[in-house]
Amino acid sequence: MPSFGATVCGDVGGFGVGADIDWQVLGTIDYAANSWIDLHAGSCNLKFNYSLPNASANVNMNGPILAATLRF
């Protein structure tokens, strides 16, 4: 029987080791079409800050995500 669910996950890191600070958040709505396939649709956001003495980057990427899980 088809069923719906949701997935939310995220992480924080960096703390001056690789990046100054970085984090990401992912959220999807999940649909179990049958016993061997799950479909996922949602959004992801990734942000990081990185700086060197002569260069720096402040990046924020976000957008949709579509995925499938196959069981065999």
Q: Which residues touch 62 (CB under 8 Å, ≥6 apart)?
A: 43, 44, 45, 46
Give, for all 72 residues of the chain, the pLDDT tens digit.
569 999 999 999 877 776 778 899 999 999 999 889 999 999 999 998 887 778 888 889 999 999 999 999
**All structural domains of the chain with their residue ranges:** 3-70
Establish how many alpha carbons lie within 13 A of residue 36's alpha carbon, considering only the half-sphere containing its beta carbon: 2
pTM of the model: 0.74
The counts of H helices and E strands in the chain are 0, 4
